[in-house]
């Protein structure tokens, strides 16, 4: 359901409906091969670690800018913060009352934003994982049972802001 590269390019994390996020590591020591092709494969990825913790689908993933933290969210209403170094669980946030479908760190790593079917976007402080703000007014009339399109990066900002008006 979701896949994200770490900013360093060393890791790739996938999240799915089996409730587990999986960390894949770029294996630079593997001999590049490509089945059925005369061209060699450029990369080889191996499973590095499974991240169990959700009890339902993992719907989105975000890395902090320095790869210090990894956040996963899911249909179990949980936000789980993982260490980007050891992949140990740092914190589980139980602040939403609906499916959590979006997550993003801000570029300064001071905040984490999550969006949910409970018609809120919540902003969490990364120094203590406490709630900084809960934004609900723009979403009061939004349907709560649909997946929304995530707004990522500057290229989609204009189309996303038009959808939110």
> Each residue's pLDDT tens digit in the chain (165 positions)?
999 999 999 999 999 999 999 999 998 876 655 566 666 667 888 999 999 999 999 999 999 999 999 999 999 999 999 999 999 999 999 999 999 999 999 999 999 999 998 889 999 999 999 999 999 888 777 765 544 445 454 333 333 433 333
Rg (CA), the chain: 17
Predicted pLDDT of residue 151: 47
pLDDT value of residue 99: 93
Tell me how far apart the alpha carbons of residues 14 and 20 are, in angstroms, rounded to a whole number. Answer: 8
- Please give the Cα distance from 18 to 138 (Å, whole number): 32
Q: Tell me which DSSP letter residue 56 carries.
A: S
Cβ 104 vs Cβ 113: under 8 Å: yes
* Closest among 145, 154, 159, 65 to 112, alpha carbons compared: 65
Joined together, the tokens standing for residue 115 give 């969006």
Residue 92 is predicted with a pLDDT of 97
């Amino acid at each position: 359901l979701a896949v994200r590269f770490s900013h360093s390019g060393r890791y790739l994390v996938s999240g799915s409906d089996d409730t587990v996020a999986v960390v894949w590591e770029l294996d630079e020591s593997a001999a590049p091969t490509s089945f059925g092709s005369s061209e060699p494969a450029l990369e080889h990825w191996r499973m590095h670690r499974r991240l169990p913790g959700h009890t339902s689908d993992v719907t989105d993933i975000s890395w902090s800018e320095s790869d210090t933290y990894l956040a996963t969210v899911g249909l179990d209403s949980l936000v789980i913060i993982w260490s980007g170094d050891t992949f140990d669980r740092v914190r589980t946030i139980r602040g939403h009352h609906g499916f959590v479908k979006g997550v993003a760190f801000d570029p300064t790593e001071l905040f984490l934003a999550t969006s949910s079917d409970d018609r809120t976007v919540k902003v969490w402080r990364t120094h203590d994982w406490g709630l900084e703000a809960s934004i609900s007014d723009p979403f009061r009339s939004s349907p709560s049972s649909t997946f929304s399109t995530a707004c990522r990066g500057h290229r989609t900002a204009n189309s996303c802001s038009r959808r939110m008006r």
